Amino acid sequence: MPYIREIVGQDHPTLRKVARRVDPKEIDEPLFQQLIDDMFETMYDAPGVGLAAPQVNVSKRVFVMDVRDDEHEPAVVINPKIESAEEEVELREGCLSVPGMVGDITRYKRIVVTGLDRSGQKIRIEGEGLLAQCLQHEIDHLNGTLYIDRALNLRPAISEEEKEAAEA
Ligand code: NI
C-alpha cells in the first residue's frame, strides 16, 4: 500500500544536494517501486502537479508528475536529461516545499527530456506549457535548486489565481 510521506521544507539539507543517479538495476526493486507509489500518493494528497524524490528526503534522481489534462498521462522520470529547450517565458510558480508562496520565474516554453520510466525503459517527453514548466522545476530539485533562488516578486499566494500557480 502506498503511503503519504512527509514533504520537507525549504531549509532541509536534502533539498540542497545534487541527487544521486539511480542505478538501473535498482529500478525493479520493491523498495524503489514503493518510493514511486508513495511519491504519487504524496503529490496527489498535497495536491501538486509534480514531486521530486529529494522533497521526501530521498536523494535520488527521480520525480513524478501529473499535469491533469486530457493530453498527458501521469509520468515517472528517472535520471532525466534535458535534450533541448526553447524560448524563454515568464511564469508564475510555486513549490510544495515552500508552501503558501508564489513567484515569477523565467522558464523555457518547450523542452525535451529523456530518461527512464518505472520499468527501466527509455522514454522521451516533449513538453510545452505547464508540462515544460513542471519538468524544469523537478529537474532543478534534483540539482539542489529551488525556484525561490531565481524567482522575482516572491510573495504569499493570496488570490485564487495565485493559489493555482504550478505547485511542484
Ligand atoms: Ni518544488
Judged against a pLDDT cut of 90, whether residue 94 lies above it is answered with yes
Q: How far apart are CA 35 and CA 5, in angstroms?
A: 9
Q: Which of 44, 49, 56, 58 is nearest to 5 (CA)?
A: 56
Judged against a pLDDT cut of 90, whether residue 166 lies above it is answered with no
Q: Is 138 a catalytic residue?
A: yes
The catalytically annotated residue of 138, 161, 164, 167 is 138
For ligand 1, the distance from its centroid to the CA atom of residue 102, given in whole angstroms, is 11
- Note the pLDDT of residue 54: 98
Q: Which of 1, 75, 74 is nearest to 37 (CA)?
A: 1
- Note the pLDDT of residue 159: 85
Interval 96-147: pLDDT, tens: 999 999 999 999 999 999 999 999 999 999 999 999 999 999 999 999 999 9
On whether the CB atoms of residues 65 and 74 are closer than 8 A, the answer is yes
- Note the pLDDT of residue 163: 79
For ligand 1, the distance from its centroid to the CA atom of residue 89, given in whole angstroms, is 18
**pTM greater than 0.85:** yes
For ligand 1, the distance from its centroid to the CA atom of residue 147, given in whole angstroms, is 7
3-state secondary structure of 38: helix
Interval 44-81: pLDDT, tens: 999 999 999 999 999 999 999 999 988 889 999 999 99
For ligand 1, the distance from its centroid to the CA atom of residue 79, given in whole angstroms, is 17
Question: How do the domains of the chain map onto residue ranges?
Answer: 13-166
Q: How far apart are CA 135 and CA 49, in angstroms?
A: 10
Q: How far apart are CA 134 and CA 90, in angstroms?
A: 14
3-state secondary structure of 81: strand
114: phi > 0 → left, psi -120 to 50 → alpha, else beta; which?
beta
Which class does domain 13-166 fall in?
Answer: alpha beta
For ligand 1, the distance from its centroid to the CA atom of residue 27, given in whole angstroms, is 23
Cell numbers at 161, concatenated: 489565481
Q: How far apart are CA 116 and CA 93, in angstroms?
A: 26
Judged against a pLDDT cut of 90, whether residue 42 lies above it is answered with yes
